[in-house]
Amino acid sequence: MERKRILIDMDEVMADITQHFINWYKEKTGVAVPYEQLVGKHITDAFPEGHLIREFLYTPGFFRTAPLMEGAVEVVEELNKHYEVFIVSAAMEFPQSLIEKYEWLQEHFPFIHWQQIMLCGSKKPVSGDYMIDDHLKNLDFFQGHKIIFTAPHNANIVGGYTRVNSWADVKAFLLSEEKIQHKQAVAEGVS
Ligand SMILES: [Mg+2]
């Protein structure tokens, strides 16, 4: 029985990049931008000095020090027992992020083998059964089940996706007894 394949995005899914932007912006400018101000906007339009956001993305250490999304470690570890998990992150736009993302995964997700990590330019060629991502530019090309992880920029988008607001939602959807039992039944040859 082949396990179903899940592709998991990093930024704004495993890593709380939104909070990281808010923290770095406050440290740099003294201005605390509330989360609600980011809803429905592209990230560089959501901060008064949007050019600083792009600067952060190119700053060594930015990706390496990103905070974890709550519950990510526990749920990804559990998913990894029941599914074929790949971490798929578009990293080529910010080449310094390649090693930082790899080290970040090693630190926080040591149970993820390097063969499960795909740091890439575009996600168009990837295939699987489920994709968890915050960006439509990735989900819309995906042929499997599209799971949109809520981020401020996508909060107003409706239709065509299974929306999850947290890792607790991911757990409820992908680690439901029904899904796990079905998987076990197939593995044991019970139809
Ligand atoms: Mg993302």
The number of distinct structural domains making up the chain is 2
pLDDT digits (tens, 9 = 90+) for 38-91: 999 988 899 999 999 999 999 999 999 999 999 999 999 999 999 999 999 999
pLDDT digits (tens, 9 = 90+) for 157-177: 988 899 999 999 999 999 987
The DSSP secondary-structure symbol of 15 reads B
Give Cα separations from 78 to 6, 109, 111, 121 (angstroms).
Answer: 12, 12, 10, 28
Q: Which of the residues are catalytic?
A: 9, 11
**Integer Rg of the chain from CA:** 17
In a domain, 63, yes or no: no
Whether residue 42 sits in one domain with residue 107:
no
In a domain, 73, yes or no: yes
CA of 133 to the centre of ligand 1 (A): 6
Structure tokens at 33: 């931008």
In a domain, 116, yes or no: yes
CATH number of the domain at 160, please. 3.40.50.1000
Structure tokens at 182: 């079905």
Cα–Cα distance for residue pair 66/21, rounded to 1 Å: 9
Whether residue 93 sits in one domain with residue 40:
no
Domain span at 91: 5-15+69-187
3-class secondary structure, 183:
helix
Q: Is the whole model's pTM more than 0.85, yes or no? A: yes
CA of 138 to the centre of ligand 1 (A): 9
Whether residue 183 sits in one domain with residue 132:
yes
CA of 180 to the centre of ligand 1 (A): 26
